[in-house]
Structure 1
């Protein structure tokens, strides 16, 4: 069997855990895939990418039974995320309040709601819960104890109870992460990427550009979560380096797409320019976003945010996770919203043509995987 050679570039979301976490996640899911098929998938250790450890990490994936070799390159920006990751709760509260004031002024919430209601709720519930939960945890014990003790004693006890419990409850509801996410992207929309991030995207684009003419049967540029936002700017730079076009075996893959977080900000003119520039270009884009994922924009074409038409060949798909998980393992409820946003990178209880390992380590091209997925009733 002639080997199928694939190159994958992966650009992740707003997550400081970085390459160590994602390499381990890939190994775990490859083992899960192998357990379902009986065919081993070998994942190497990670090493610094050819462009340097600050730019990327590399590992190799081999599926002997399928005759597939995948060169997997993780594009790194977790160091930049770490520099803006707000750790102090008081600082987070203050900066999130300012960020949400900016979103209230500049975000087109009416249009966002017409596109998808779920992400609007996901954006708005963190500041509401961040106020209500500590307040209720303080107020209820204070009022109850004030029936037996002086009010100041009850009030002090309420503050202590709130301080002890509210952080854990808010973390379980993913409130701090969402506040950080919205704070960062509020600044990104208003101020642009800045020199450090733009330089990193330039280095990513240069690295991808030099690989496109390699001996690959397929090249995937995979973006996930907030990486789908930066992926558009990256793609514009890549097209500029390649004279405005990409080889036919190249595909941009968006998982859990969140482009409207910036695309619907009225003040993000720099990003609107990126999307308009891409709307005129021919390339292949496949968007896989789940309707129950409250952070993702299912069936929202990013290029239609700024243009009436586009030249790209686009597929918009739901991964239909409910078909591939047993009910007891399928993520549900507010406390699992964060985990559900990572199901795009996992393998379910039953194989899907669109699960992450099948896409990146299987023999089907993305186009063949999409066609096979569409045949599932």
Structure 2
């Protein structure tokens, strides 16, 4: 599509910030991701350029204001034809993710023993399976990978033992060869696990499990700080429309934050302007834990009247989310009123990437999980396009 000239609409980030008038402000919570605001700024900017290309609209993304100005929020803006369309605020908890991001594989193996003892032998898998078979199977992915690796190494060492018996190799040489195979096999398996997303997935499982055991003090302190900061920002520079968005594991941080906004009275300050949006949520991953009582209290609090409008977007193509699973029914938390809450909406994600075969769907799961944050070509959005909706008039 031919694009009109945008030269008259290009201004610096400071010019955009200084503009008066109504605006839409988004407070975004990423999933369990150590990459931080810089990664999401680049991805968001690319999606704005894609929307600009497809629609012919004159859109411009400002420079990012980083943590030097505000350690809790990094922000950037989008303008169109001299008008500020969107103020995007990335809420930082990525430093907490990095603090819970062990790099030593032995630490992960040690923690995996206790986590999968609960998951396999103490009912964790069955709880997940009742809510989503796909998520339950994804939860087994890391332990199945480790088991397969050990089986392959065992077969390789046994094969060397047979060769040693047939060739009459000295026992010391056999032991040395087996040691080389085990060490090199472990190194290759670790690299492949990183490439396939197995390590990333287990780190996320580990973090959520720790939260479920009521070991969430650092995250809750951050949520309280974020709620206070949002209140201060909206008091000094109020937006006409405010959207709190959580993606993946950021969905349960979003629920914590929404409850904290209510505790601090910020929700009354934002009455009629604040809405919640969860994308590819895995709320039940935390909610199913019996010790996650503080999180259950958060869910109960935000379900009280007057409720904040809450739209939950998931997809059955996304095996890393609880597609159309009611977070309240998942943990037995009561809510007021007969109306369903949140509003659950399913969208087809696979068609955005042209995935029609099961093997393609399985091999693209991690990339597909980020598809909620991307714009789509006209006719392929499946009824929801985050970037287009954020930049709608």
Q: TM-score when scaled to structure 1? A: 0.85
Asked if 1:342 is matched to 2:370, the reply is yes
Q: Which residue of 1 aligns with 2:332?
A: 306
Q: Which residue of 2 aligns with 1:189?
A: 212
Contact 1:172 1:335 in 2 (8 A): no
Note closer, same or farther for the CA distance 1:115–1:102 as it changes in structure 2 (3 Å cut).
closer
What's the offset of the Cα at 1:4? 6.1
2:276 to 252, 264, 269: 252
Note closer, same or farther for the CA distance 1:96–1:63 as it changes in structure 2 (3 Å cut).
farther
Q: Which residue of 2 aligns with 1:288?
A: 313
Contact 2:153 2:181 in 1 (8 A): yes
Note closer, same or farther for the CA distance 1:139–1:313 as it changes in structure 2 (3 Å cut).
closer
Q: Which residue of 2 aligns with 1:113?
A: 129
What's the offset of the Cα at 1:86? 0.6
Query: Alignment partner of 1:296: what SS?
Result: coil
Contact 2:125 2:136 in 1 (8 A): yes
Q: Which residue of 2 aligns with 1:361?
A: 391
Q: Which residue of 2 aligns with 1:238?
A: 261
Q: Which runs of 4+ in 1 moved over 6 A?
A: 328-331
Contact 2:86 2:390 in 1 (8 A): yes
1:142 to 157, 162, 173: 157
Bigger drift between 73-82 and 109-118 goes to: 109-118
Note closer, same or farther for the CA distance 1:201–1:330 as it changes in structure 2 (3 Å cut).
farther
Note closer, same or farther for the CA distance 1:79–1:337 as it changes in structure 2 (3 Å cut).
same
1:201 to 211, 223, 231: 223
Q: Which residue of 2 aligns with 1:11?
A: 29
Contact 2:256 2:298 in 1 (8 A): yes
Count of residue pairs brought into register by the alignment: 358
Q: TM-score when scaled to structure 2? A: 0.82
1:264 to 260, 283, 288: 288
Asked if 1:64 is matched to 2:81, the reply is yes
Contact 1:225 1:255 in 2 (8 A): yes
> CA-to-partner distance for each residue in 1:324-352, whole Å, 9 max, x for gaps?
33348999444422211111111234463
Contact 2:259 2:302 in 1 (8 A): yes
Contact 1:62 1:361 in 2 (8 A): no
Structure 2 unaligned spans of 5+: 1-19
Q: Which residue of 2 aligns with 1:38?
A: 56
Q: In 2, distance between residues paired with 1:174 and 1:323? A: 22
What's the offset of the Cα at 1:17? 0.6
1:297 to 309, 322, 337: 322
What's the offset of the Cα at 1:154? 4.9
What's the offset of the Cα at 1:170? 1.9
> CA-to-partner distance for each residue in 1:96-127, whole Å, 9 max, x for gaps?
22233344576654343222111111112211
Query: Alignment partner of 1:47: what SS?
Result: coil
> CA-to-partner distance for each residue in 1:151-198, whole Å, 9 max, x for gaps?
43552343144134212322233211121111111111112421x322
Structure 1 unaligned spans of 5+: 364-377
Q: In 2, distance between residues paired with 1:81 and 1:290? A: 25
Q: In 2, distance between residues paired with 1:182 and 1:3? A: 43
Note closer, same or farther for the CA distance 1:181–1:36 as it changes in structure 2 (3 Å cut).
same
Contact 2:375 2:387 in 1 (8 A): yes
Contact 1:103 1:265 in 2 (8 A): no
What's the offset of the Cα at 1:47? 0.7
Q: Which residue of 1 aligns with 2:40?
A: 22
Contact 1:326 1:349 in 2 (8 A): no
What's the offset of the Cα at 1:145? 3.8
Contact 2:118 2:124 in 1 (8 A): no
Query: Alignment partner of 1:97: what SS?
Result: helix
Bigger drift between 257-266 and 278-287 goes to: 278-287
Q: In 1, distance between residues paired with 2:388 and 2:359? A: 21
Compare CA radii of gyration and give the structure with the larger one: 2
What's the offset of the Cα at 1:90? 0.9
Query: Alignment partner of 1:60: what SS?
Result: strand
> CA-to-partner distance for each residue in 1:198-237, whole Å, 9 max, x for gaps?
2211121122234456553321101111111111111111
Contact 1:325 1:349 in 2 (8 A): no
